[in-house]
Amino acid sequence: MSALMTPEFWVALAQIILINIVLSGDNAVVIALACRALPPRQQKSAILFGSAGAVVLRVVLTFFAVLLLAQPYLKLIGAVLLLWIGIGLLKGDDEDEDHEDQASLWAAIKTIMIADVVMSLDNVIGVAAAAKGNILLLVAGLVISIPLIVFGSTLILKLMGRFPVIITAGAALLGWVAGEMAVSDPVVHGLVASRQWLHIAAPLTGALLVVAIGKWLGRRRNDDDEKGGAAGTAS
């Protein structure tokens, strides 16, 4: 308990909270995207449980951060996962009854947790360094960050209802982060070091891919729904 009274503890706690505030910006967008198709009564549950579950996984991830980030291909796999999540979320722009499974509460929570962990790979190093091996400090900082994530995602969710373009922008952000993650993988370090333009080209390509493929799949699904509806009416 004496450690709680030291200035060092509170400085480190403030550092962890600040890191999580910065990190929460991207993650709040993901949470809002994943929850937007849910009924209003389920949105709060998805945001709360998804955020809490993601923070727990982030604590676990922090303990293995240095080892994990040194593994080749891990960030490349994470980048592909983020692209897939971004495309899937954008494709679901138009909700319908046939889309019930994907819009379910647990599907949203799963999406939130996976995306949060993947997007947190780089940031856990900063959290681990600030905690200096103090488990109480680590857990306290991350738990305090939950209300910040919940508030941010709730606000973005409301804005999405008024400004649908935020949905596309949020999906593009996932693609951008995926591109940044891909070029930071140890496997491509040599290639990227001699081609600095890839630090812009890869994220931009990721953002464009998510938007283009997500919109195309969304339009194709809508066309199939219209054809199915027309066939049902004709019969």
From CA 158, how far away is CA 22, in angstroms rounded?
A: 21
pLDDT at position 96 is 46
**What's the predicted TM-score (pTM) here?**
0.74
Place of tokens 């009854």: 97
SS (H, E, C) 141-175: HHHHHHHHHHHHHHHHHHHHHHCCHHHHHHHHHHH
Q: Which of 180, 170, 172 is nearest to 76 (CA)?
A: 180
With 0-12 / 13-18 / 19 or more C-beta atoms within 10 angstroms meaning exposed / middle / buried, residue 42 is middle
From CA 63, how far away is CA 107, in angstroms rounded?
A: 27
With 0-12 / 13-18 / 19 or more C-beta atoms within 10 angstroms meaning exposed / middle / buried, residue 232 is exposed
pLDDT at position 135 is 75
Q: How many residues does the chain have?
A: 235
**Could you say which DSSP state residue 72 is in?**
T
Task: Quote the domain boundaries for residue 110.
Answer: 2-234
User: Rounded to the nearest 10 degrees, how much is the dihedral formed by the CA atoms of 93, 96, 102, 106?
Assistant: 110
pLDDT at position 206 is 95
Residues 6+ apart with CB under 8 A from 141: 12, 13, 15, 16, 17, 19, 20, 127, 130, 131
Provide the greatest CA pair distance for the chain: 77
From CA 152, how far away is CA 158, in angstroms rounded?
A: 10
Which secondary-structure segment (H or E) carries 127? Answer: helix 123-131
CA distances from 171 to 14, 207, 213 (A): 30, 8, 11
pLDDT at position 6 is 77
Tens-digit pLDDT string for the chain (235 aa): 555 667 877 888 787 777 766 666 777 888 888 888 888 888 888 888 888 887 778 778 777 766 666 778 888 888 898 899 889 888 864 444 444 544 588 888 888 888 887 877 766 766 766 777 677 777 777 777 777 778 888 888 888 888 889 889 989 988 998 999 899 888 988 888 888 899 999 999 999 999 999 999 988 877 766 666 656 565 5
pLDDT at position 98 is 43
* Count of domains observed in the chain: 1
pLDDT at position 161 is 83
From CA 223, how far away is CA 230, in angstroms rounded?
A: 11
The angle subtended at Cα 168 by Cα 84 and Cα 158, nearest 5°, is 110
